[in-house]
Amino acid sequence: MKIGSLITLSLVFSCSAFAQAVDNKKAEAKPNMNKAEADNLLKEISKSFENLPKEERIKYLKMRNEAAKLFQNKRIFETLDLVRKMDEIFKNDPQALVLKGACYVEIRDFASARESFDQAVKVVGPKYNILFNLAEIDFVTNKWSDALKLFETIKPDIPDRDIGMKRLVDFKIMLCHIRLADKAENEDEKKKHEQVIAELANQQGFMDDSPYYYYANAAYNYYKGDVSAADQWLAKGRRVYQLSPAHIASWEDTLVEFGYIKSYFGDEEAAEDK
């Protein structure tokens, strides 16, 4: 099963030039590092890059662009090989760290992926795009409480213009509550989760500019055991987005990873029951 389509969101964010990182005055490189120390770390990284010979800087940026293209084309091991060569020229580039983490996610080496994303947070601070990837690792490794907490933490930081990510985070929050309801130790705990699940399932209407309406209702019906209704909701969503399947790829991948469906895009691997 694949979740790489979710990880690529972070590549849009990652610094395309080190000056962007330096200008980020809200970053805290790690919990015990104050703002001034975080800013100094970013400035040191930027200065280190600027101190490289011009030819090396140009070579590095070309390699980074090529690595991003390789990743987008799912040439994961070639991407990793190129990123390792980039490390020989310059370390601690936030974009390279995120790209490396994304590659490890693709091959399901989640421990290495987490290490790369954690290092990226140390460099540029707790930006929501990187934290999303860390939450995603918790999600796919069934750490539902940890994933829920992190998704809820980043939700307020997602800009309104990024409606797709906002809705996807809400969807994942809903799915976390579903799993926590499944695993609830008593009826009161289960009812609390089910109340949130119902609220999230009805949060958006068909006029919403995202696939949320269809996929949230599908998940809700799968949870209730009404497979026929759930399948109908999925069919509606797929019809609406039939001319732009990329818009639903992350949503489909999420339900596959969650275990509710098999891949709509032809993967032979069956969805696992989590």
Residues 173 and 132 placed together within one structural domain of the fold = no
Q: Are residues 60 and 174 in the same domain?
A: no
Is there a domain that residue 270 lies in?
A: no
Query: For residue 129, is it within any domain?
Result: yes
Q: Please check whether residue 269 lies inside any domain of the structure.
A: no
The pLDDT assigned to 171 comes to: 98
CA atoms of 50 and 90, how far apart (whole Å)? 11
Confidence of residue 44 (pLDDT cuts 50, 70, 90): confident
pLDDT of residue 87: 94
| Residues 180 and 251 occupy one common structural domain | yes
Nearest alpha-carbon partner for 256 in 248, 134, 131, 236: 248
Contacts from 29-37 at CB under 8 Å and sequence distance 24+? 29/121, 29/122, 29/123, 29/124, 29/125, 30/121, 30/122
Q: 119 and 178 in one domain?
A: no
Query: What integer pLDDT is reported at residue 270 of this predicted model?
Result: 40
> pLDDT tens, 207-233?
999 999 999 999 999 999 999 999 999
Please provide the average confidence, as pLDDT, over all residues in the chain. Answer: 85
Structure tokens at 195: 């109340």
Based on the structure, what is the number of domains in the chain?
2
Reported pTM = 0.80
Give Cα 115 distance to the centre of its chain. 15
Other CB atoms within a 10 A radius of the CB of residue 188 amount to 8
Range of the domain at 252: 163-258
Contact 101, 7 (CB under 8 A): yes
